[in-house]
Amino acid sequence: MMENLDEAELCFPQLNSSCRKPTQPPTEALLIYILLSSMSLLTVALNLLVIIAISHFRQLHTPTNVFLLSLAVSDLLVGFVLMPVEIIYIEACWFLGDVVCTLYYVIDYIITSTSVANMVLISADRYVAICDPLHYPTRVTKRRAQIGICLCWVCSVLYRIFFLHSHLTEPERSHSCLGECVVVVNSVEGGVDLVFTFIIPIALIIGLYLRVFLVALRQAHVMRSHITAATARQSRAVTVKKMEVKAARTLGIVVVVFLFCFCPYYFPALAGENTSVDATSVAFELWLTHFNSCLNPVIYAFFYPWFRKCIKLILTLQILKPGSRDTKLL
């Protein structure tokens, strides 16, 4: 009887090298399913709203919004492709084979890398817009933005294929038993990935936003120096203060959210240890990096008044009316 029970707990009862089926207490499993499914649906819904809004309304066809659109697409794929697979396999064995498992992780890493790269492009776009506004229309055109986005996706694909080439040639190398989908990144590979996917992007984002913040402070100082009337000075001071707070808040939110979502995943690499990612378990650090895709549309789009107008027009089906593409939003 005990033998039959043990076999029932195996992914492949007929094989000695089989993994045990992943199990969770019923109540805990239900809560996990509800939480992660809600996160997946929310990620898809928010990013889909961004994509529809930017694609539909002509007034939003700007270089800045091209970057936002690319970010929304990569984040949509996280919610639509990656999260559902991981939800399905919370209490199920992996039956799709080693090759599909490795390809899944290649796609996972490509989408995540592209999302991070898009954040860097958005930071660079805002840097040019604030620090060199006179040359912004000629330096950042819609065509150049589209080329930048294409390069971003292509480079992410090539980098990830190169990064995981050993796993692609030996897809079973990380598995300890049959029925699991695991990729183990050694300390050297993890260190390289840490530099290119975490340290360099966060350094660029911090550097660019810090520069924007300093320029905003300098412009505020210039405005204050040109104010002569006491009333005007008071009014301007309030406006300047709001600008400073907004710049600081945006910088803080971007950096803190990025660090909060990605730091736990890179802890092993920071400690010089191997990084193990398992699609058949509820890995907190993996889901936290995915949660960043749910927060991105909130940070980069919900702060814009035009997006709130777009949500209203989309949800009330006003976009189906003739001429809605030319609606004035700004």
Q: What CA–CA distance (Å, rounded) separates 90 from 101?
A: 15
CA distance linking residue 317 with residue 299, whole number of Å: 25
Q: What is the mean pLDDT of the chain?
A: 78
Residue 248: CATH number of its domain: 1.20.1070.10
Give the span between the Cα atoms of 46 and 48, in whole angstroms: 5
pLDDT confidence band for 38 (50 / 70 / 90): very high
Provide the 3-class DSSP secondary structure of residue 193. helix
Please name which of 302, 294, 301, 263 lies closest in space to residue 43, comparing C-alpha atoms: 294
Q: Which residue shows structure tokens 């993994």? A: 19
Within a domain: 142: yes
Query: Does residue 104 belong to any structural domain of this protein?
Result: yes
CB 91 within 8 A of CB 21: yes
Q: Which residues contact 260 (CB under 8 A, 6 or more apart)?
A: 288
Number of structural domains (the chain) is 1
Give the residue carrying structure tokens 């000075």: 233
Residue 86, domain extent = 26-326
Task: Please give the pLDDT value at position 226.
Answer: 63
pLDDT confidence band for 144 (50 / 70 / 90): very high
Asked if the structure places residue 189 within a domain, the reply is yes
Residue 56 covered by a domain: yes
Tell me: the pLDDT tens digits for 148-181?
Answer: 999 999 999 998 888 887 777 877 766 667 777 7
Q: Which DSSP letter does residue 20 get?
A: B
Does 12 map to a domain? no
% residues pLDDT > 70 (the chain):
80
What percentage of the chain exceeds 90 in pLDDT? 14
pTM: 0.82
- In-domain check, residue 188: yes
The answer to whether residue 62 sits within a structural domain is yes
Determine contact, residues 104/183, Cβ cutoff 8 Å: no
Asked if residue 14 is part of any domain, the answer here is no
